[in-house]
Every structure is written in structure tokens, then in C-alpha cells.
Amino acid sequence: MMTQQKTCLDPVILNLWHPLGAIDEVAACIVVETVLLDESVSFAVDEDRKVFVWRSRTGLRPGDRFHQLAVDDLLPARSAYGYVWTSLGTPSDDIFPIPEYAEADRRKLNAATFGVNVSAPRAIENFLDMGHFPYVHTDILGVEPHTEVKEYDVEISVDRDEILATRCRFYQPMASIASDGGADVEYIYRVPHPYCSVLYKSSPLDETRMDVIAVFLQPLGEERIRAHMMLCVLDDTNADKIIKRFQQTIFGQDKPILENQFPKRLPLDPRAETPIRADKSAIAYRRWLSQKGLTYGVIPVAN
């Protein structure tokens, strides 16, 4: 079934920064074309790693050599956490902070960029859900009979305008590629952006620190996304491709689950889907999106 295309009219989403692609994966000064909110946009990264983004209307085609003078309608552009970001509206000065990204001893990688036919909010909600670990990521992030989602705390921080879930713990047979066996793993989830989430989990190498795994969703349209998986982890042993493959395996298990979600947009009415497993963070997330008046990628509460 074809998804009906429509231009995004949601001011909340239009004014946000959105990721377009991993900087390390594009050749310097070569035009790359992608889609954001059903609009065709192009970007390039120059030799100094400065990023440029524009609506794909000018003469430059994908694969062309980039010249700034050939583009007359530049969009806001930022480089952050290894990705190119842009906005189709009037964005805030800064993208949300991830202070750990500045720590020199961490490995920083784009684990993968996956196209998924689902709305961004459905994918964020799945990322927050620990209840599916034993069933979807069997023998990796969970295993029976360790299926219980233990009590944890969730708050919507008014100051930082983000959701914070703390004291999450789950028994994991293989929490990361650096693990040497099963362990009770502690998680902290942040949702600092309607379409991005940052997960902190206990480091198998250093009990005082946490690995950071973020999912930055690029809304191609209301019901299709590109999910960029950012890693910022403590691991001085494994090669990049081994670390990436671990996350790719996990995301490959989530993708068919996400694409089978119905409806593809996330219903915000608390009565629409009850009960939801591991539901506290999902309920907070839906409430937060409702408070923002978000309409894109969701089914708003009927008035």
C-alpha cells in the first residue's frame, strides 16, 4: 500500500534539527542527496569537515563536486556527534548535549544507518522498551526466564525539556561485544528530542562509567525513517567492524518488528493501546509529545 505523501506542517518538527547522514561515510566535497520530511535535500562535507545542506533544487546533482557558489538556498547546517544535521524551519542554536562525546578515550562510530518503514515515534518507543529483550534479542540482550521489567523511575525534566528514565536494570546474557558473560545491566534512557534517544548502559570494562548508544532518527516521511545508530563506547580491543556488527545484529532483529507495527504512526491517546508492556517510559513519551502539540508521525488525541 502506498503511503500518502504530504508536506510536513508541524511547526515543532519543522523547527527541530534532524540528522541526514554520517560524516565519516561521505567523500569530501561530493554532493549527497537524501530526503527529510518528504522534501529532497542535498548535503556536502568540505575538506575542512564543514557541512552544507540545501534543498535539492539547484544545478548540483548527487555525485557532483560541491561548490558553495552553485547553491543559493542553504539550509541551517551543523556537524554533531559524527553526523550532518539540518532543519527546514528555524532551529534552536544548539542540538541537545551529550557530554560523554567529548571524552577522548571513547570509540565513536556510526554503527549503522537502517531504512525502516515506520514512524519515528514508534521506533523511539521500541528503543525505550526493555520488555521485548528476551523475546526479540534472545541470548543477547535478554533470555527467559529473566523476563520481568523491574520497577524504574521516569521523569519529564521541564528544565532540559527531556524524558529521563533511571534505575532501569535488566539481566543480559551479552550486553555488548566487550562482555564476557551474563550480567545485570543498568540502563539510563534520555529522550532529549522527539525523534532521538540516548541510552546509557553499564560498561563491562569500567564499573564507574557507562557506554552511550544513541538513535538519531531521520524522518523521511511520516511513516518511514532512516535510523542512525551512534556508538560512544569504552572498548580498546575490538575492531570497528566487530563493534558495529553487534549493533547491526540487534537492529536487524528490531526492524521486522517495527515494520509490522499497526498503525505505523504512534497513537497519543492513552486509551488507544492499553496496556503497553514496560509502559512507564512509553506513557511519559506519549504524554510529552502530546504536551508539545506534536502532530507529525503520531495520531493526535481527538478533541
Binding residues for Fe ion, rule: CB under 5 A, are 254
Comparing CB distances to Fe ion, the nearer of 213 and 234 is: 213
- State the minimum distance, in angstroms, from the CB of residue 121 to Fe ion: 15
Comparing CB distances to Fe ion, the nearer of 76 and 135 is: 135
- State the minimum distance, in angstroms, from the CB of residue 157 to Fe ion: 25
- State the minimum distance, in angstroms, from the CB of residue 255 to Fe ion: 9
Comparing CB distances to Fe ion, the nearer of 10 and 254 is: 254
- State the minimum distance, in angstroms, from the CB of residue 126 to Fe ion: 6
Q: By beta-carbon distance, which residue lies closest to Fe ion? A: 254
Comparing CB distances to Fe ion, the nearer of 78 and 226 is: 226
Is residue 173 within 8 A of residue 143, CB to CB? The reply is yes
Question: Under DSSP, is residue 114 helix (H, G, I), strand (E, B) or coil?
Answer: strand
- State the minimum distance, in angstroms, from the CB of residue 257 to Fe ion: 7
CA geometry: angle at 105 spanning 239 and 230, to 5°?
Answer: 60
Is residue 10 within 8 A of residue 295, CB to CB? The reply is yes
Comparing CB distances to Fe ion, the nearer of 222 and 254 is: 254
Comparing CB distances to Fe ion, the nearer of 235 and 254 is: 254
Separation between Cα atoms, residue 262 and residue 176, nearest integer Å: 30
> What is the phi-psi region of residue 284: left when phi exceeds 0, alpha when psi lies from -120 to 50, beta otherwise?
alpha
Q: How many C-beta atoms lie closer than 10 Å to residue 293's C-beta? A: 10
Q: Which three cell numbers stand for residue 127?
A: 528503543
- State the minimum distance, in angstroms, from the CB of residue 53 to Fe ion: 30
Separation between Cα atoms, residue 65 and residue 30, nearest integer Å: 5
Q: What is the DSSP string of 145-188?
A: T-------EEEEETTTTEEEEEEEEEEES-SSTT--S-EEEEEE
